[in-house]
Structure 1
C-alpha cells in the first residue's frame, strides 16, 4: 500500500451506500467487494440501473443478498435507446420488493451522447413512472440546471418528496430548488478532490438532514485511493470529508446520513 494511503475506517454505526454500479466493478471479484463492505458495517447497498441492457442485471444483483437493493431507469446518456418496450419493463418491475427508486434518470448536456430534446422527453416519461408508482427518483444532472428545474417544476404536484440529485456538481440555484422541495443531494469522492471547491460549497450550504453518502463506484474514487477502481468500501472517506467540510462531529454525520437514506429509500425502515 502506498505510504499516502491509510486503512479504511470502520464505523460502529452502520452506513448505507446509496449509489453505485455493482455490475461495472471489474478490479476484484464482486463477492470479495461485498464481503469487505459488510465487514466495514455498510448495512445496505443500492446498485443503480442506467441502460436497457442492465435493467435485468440490476434486478439479479438485488437478489444476491438481503442487504442489496436496486433501481430501474435509463441514464440520459442512453436516452436514445428508450422506447415503449423499455418503459414497460421499468413499469413492470418498479414495484418489485428490492427495487427502491426510479433512476438513474435526468439530463446531461456536458456530453453529446443523446439529443437534448430526446433527453428531456425521456426524463419526463420516467418522472411520470415515478409519480404513478409513488417511487423516489435518483436524478443525474450535469450542465442542465435551468431545464432540470423547469421540468421538475412540472411534476411538483405529483412527485414524492423522497428523492436525490446524486453526485451533485451543479450550481447553487439547482441545489436550493432541490433542498426547498425536501429532496436530498448525494455527495461522493468528488468532495475529496483538490479542485472541487464548488462542490464543497454546496456541501456547506446543504443541511446535514438532506445529504446522502454515495460512491458512484466504480467511478470517482476518493482520496486517498484515487487511481484505483472505486468500490462501496471507500464510502467512509466520503463521510469523513462531509464532517470536515461542515465542521460537524463525524458521528453526527454518520448517524444523520444513515437516517436520511432510510427516509429516502426505505421509509418503512
Structure 2
C-alpha cells in the first residue's frame, strides 16, 4: 500500500511505549502511516502529547483534553484553555461520556464535556469524542452544537448502523474506525461500516488498546493501522488503496491544522 494512512487516535504517551517509542514511530512510517494524532486524557498526558509533537515533528500531532474518566479531577480547565491555544494542537480531546465505568459522576462528565465542546468550537478546533454506553446523551449534546459550527469525530465507533447514521446525519460527525472492525463478533459494526458513507469514516488504532486481529492480546501500535484499513476494504468490497486514499482525505478535512502541516512538510 503506497497511499499514506493517518492514525487519527493514539495514546503514545503511555508507559507501554516508554522503552521503544522511536521504533514504534519508525515501524509506522515504514508501513505508510504518515501521521499520528496522540490524544491527551488529562492535564499531564495533554502536556506530554505536546512534547511528543516536538520530538516527532511532522509525524505526531497533539490533541489535548479531558477523558470522562478524569473529569472529576479536571479542575477549572483554565490549563486546558492555555494548551488549546498552542498552534500545534490539531484537536480538542479526548473528551466525552463513559457510562460503563462511571469513574467520574455523570453530571460532572457532562459538565466537562460541554465545557470542552465550547472551548473547541470557539477556537474552530475539531472535537475528538469518547462515547461508551452514553449515545443518547452524546447525540443530544452534539446535535445542539452542530448549528454552532462544531466539528466532531466519535472515536472508536463500535455501534450499529442506526446509531452511526444518526451521528452523521444529525450531528455531522465523522466516525473513527479501529481494530474492533476485525473482531469476529463485531457483526453490528461490520454491517454498519459496509453501509455508512465512506466520506465520513476515518481510521484509528486507539493504541495501545483495541489491537486488531491477528495481534489481539498484544500491545496495539500505529503500524497495525493497515490491518484495519484492509478489513474495512474487504467489508466494503473495495481496494485497500482506495480506502486508504479516502480515509486520509477525510482525516485532512476533519483536521485542517493537520492538513496545513502536511502541506508545509511537502513544500520543504
Give TM-score scaled by structure 1 length: 0.91
Counterpart CA distance in 1 for 2:146 and 2:168 is: 13
Partner of 1:110: 100
In structure 1, stretches of 5+ residues that fail to align are 1-10
Stretch of structure 1 that moved more, 57-66 or 19-28: 19-28
2:43–2:80 Cα contact (<8 Å) kept:
no
Aligned 8 A contact 1:20 1:215 in 2: yes
Q: Which residue of 2 aligns with 1:144?
A: 134
Distance 1:37 1:31 in 2: 10
1:68 corresponds to: 60
d(CA) in 2 for partners of 1:253, 1:159: 27
The SS at the match of 1:194 is: coil
Q: Distance in 2 between matches of 1:182 and 1:155?
A: 10
For residues 42 and 88 of structure 1, do their structure 2 counterparts lie closer, same or farther at Cα, with a shift above 3 Å needed?
same
* Alignment pair present for 1:178 and 2:167: yes
User: Aligned to 1:155, what secondary structure does the other structure show?
Assistant: helix
Q: CA deviation at 1:173?
A: 4.1
Q: 1:172 to 1:115 in 2, by over 3 A?
A: farther
CA distance in 1: counterparts of 2:24 and 2:15, whole angstroms = 9
When the two structures are superposed, what TM-score results if normalisation uses the length of structure 2? Answer: 0.91
Q: Which residue number corresponds to residue 229 of structure 2?
A: 239
Distance 2:39 2:252 in 1: 17
CA offsets, 1:74-106, max 9 Å, x none?
00111101211xx11211121323210011110
Spell out the pairing of 1:129-168 with structure 2 (5 A cutoff): 129-160=119-150, 162-168=151-157
- Report how far residue 166 of structure 1 moved: 0.4
- Shift of residue 25 of structure 1? 5.2
Instruction: Looking at secondary structure, tell me which structure has more helix per residue.
Output: 2
Larger deviation: 151-160 or 230-239? 151-160
Aligned counterpart, 1:8: none
Q: Is the 8 A contact 1:141 1:170 kept in 2?
A: no
1:52 equivalent to 2:40? Answer: no
Specify which of 71, 80, 83 is matched with residue 90 of structure 1.
80
CA contact (8 A) 2:11 2:208 kept: yes
Q: Deviations over 1:148-202 (max 9, x none)?
A: 1111122122133x32100002344432222114321001110011111111122
* Structure 1 Cα separation of the partners of residues 162 and 85 of structure 2: 33
Contact 1:186 1:212 in 2 (8 A): yes
CA RMSD of aligned residues (A): 1.5
How far apart, in 2, do the equivalents of 1:25 and 1:182 lie? 35
Q: Residue by residue, what CA displacement relative to the aligned partner does 1:195-219 show, whole Å, maximum 9, x if unpaired?
A: 1111112212211111101000000
Match of 1:262 in 2: 252
Distance in 1 between residues matched to 2:143 and 2:247, nearest whole Å: 26
